Amino acid sequence: MKKILITGALGQIGSELMVALQKRYGHDNVIATDIRRPPQVDGVFEVLDCTCGHRLHETILAHDVGTIYHLAALLSAVAEARPQEAWRVNMDGTLHVLEAARIHGCSVFVPSSIGAFGPTTPADDTPQDTIQRPTSMYGVTKVAGELLCDYYAHRFGVDTRGLRYPGIISNVTPPGGGTTDYAVDIYYSAVQHGKYTCFLREDTFLDMMYMPDAIHAAITLMEADSTKLLHRNAFNVTAMSFTPEQIAAEIRKHLPGFTMEYKIDPVRQGIADSWPNHMDDAAARVEWGWKPEFDLASMTTDMIRVLKNRFGK
């Protein structure tokens, strides 16, 4: 079979997607790449900067690649601190990947985000097709990325597909500098120290998803019948929506002594306030059968079980 290449494979999502793809399609059929070299990796790995077009072409040809999961990006908080670099990595990187896909006939998965929405978007039950005027650099690159993927599909027939992921919660690789990172940090801190200082306000609703559902969504979308995909590059997908107070209350069911303080980061609070409270993901459910397995309660049970084992608590 043609190989599967992942960019940004050492990140929060890539590190777990790599293992899932290896299990599904064969260990040696997955080519993990990232701009940095890991101390060790179980599988085929190449250093690859996604903004370097000729290295992308070389790697695709060398490994006979047919599918690209393009995960390399700067996330919202990092992008806000380094907006020019975010444009270069998120936009130039995506353009190079799409161009390589066009030339070599690859299909491409490019994740978008809740960050593709902005303060003028309806915040509750955010429709699939709605106003998108984001105010963060991350959001600007995500909307432009969605449009660029649409363009490559319509103009050149490239099989591009994508999801608007919410905040992803996981326990393998730490998140890379986003606004939703608190919902991962809180579990580590609760299990290790019994307390957490949250950088978002207690009543900030955001969409979230547990990593197994995020991985399942990407692979299911890439395997879906393309004739059914009306919204091919930007499917709203969510599994739950909660506030910091609500996740803390859920954690207290397992760790009754857990306490939380607040020290608001105005940059990340501003970004969070501009994002939806809860997206409507009906299009994903209808067009390719999206259905999450985990809700806040089952995710919390699993996160605390895994982290307690890891930290010997």
- Name the site residues for ligand NAD (rule: CB under 6 A): 7-8, 10-14, 34-36, 49-51, 71-73, 75, 89, 93, 111, 113, 165, 167-168, 175-176, 178, 180
Binding partner of 134, given ligand NAD, ligand SER, none, CB within 5-8 angstroms per partner class: none
Would you count residue 76 as binding ligand SER (CB under 6 A)?
yes
Q: Are strands 107-109 and 160-161 parallel, antiparallel or unpaired?
A: parallel
Taking CB under 6 A as the criterion, the residue among 6, 50, 71, 75 binding ligand SER is 75
CB of 43 to ligand SER, least distance (A): 25
Residues 6+ positions from 133 with CB-CB distance below 8 Å: 118, 119, 120, 121
Which of 43/270 has CB closer to ligand SER? Answer: 270
Residue 310's alpha-carbon distances to 12, 137, 184, 300, in angstroms, are 18, 36, 15, 15
Number of H helices, E strands in the chain: 12, 16
Cβ proximity of 112 and 162 under 8 Å? yes
**Least Å from the CB of residue 104 to ligand SER:** 28
118 binds, among ligand SER, ligand NAD, none (CB under 5 to 8 A by kind): none
* Residue 123 · residue 106 · CB < 8 Å: no
Note whether 141 and 295 are within 8 A (CB). Answer: no
Q: What span, in angstroms and rounded, lies between the C-alpha atoms of 111 and 134? A: 16
65 vs 146, which CB is nearer to ligand SER? 146
* Position 8 contacts ligand SER (CB under 6 A): no
Query: Least Å distance between CB 128 and ligand NAD?
Result: 16
Provide the minimum distance between the beta carbon of 209 and ligand SER in the complex, in angstroms, as a whole number: 10
* Contact yes or no for 73/9 (Cβ under 8 A): no
Residue 50 contacts which entry, ligand NAD, ligand SER, none (Cβ below 5-8 A, type-dependent): ligand NAD
Count the residues in the chain: 313
210 counts as catalytic: no
List the one residue out of 121, 84, 136 whose CA is nearest residue 270.
136
| Catalytic hit among 69, 138, 152, 210 | 138
Q: Which does 179 bind (CB under 5 to 8 A by kind): ligand SER, ligand NAD, none?
A: ligand SER
Binding interface with ligand SER (CB under 6 A): 75-76, 113-115, 138, 167, 178-180
Catalytic residue list: 138
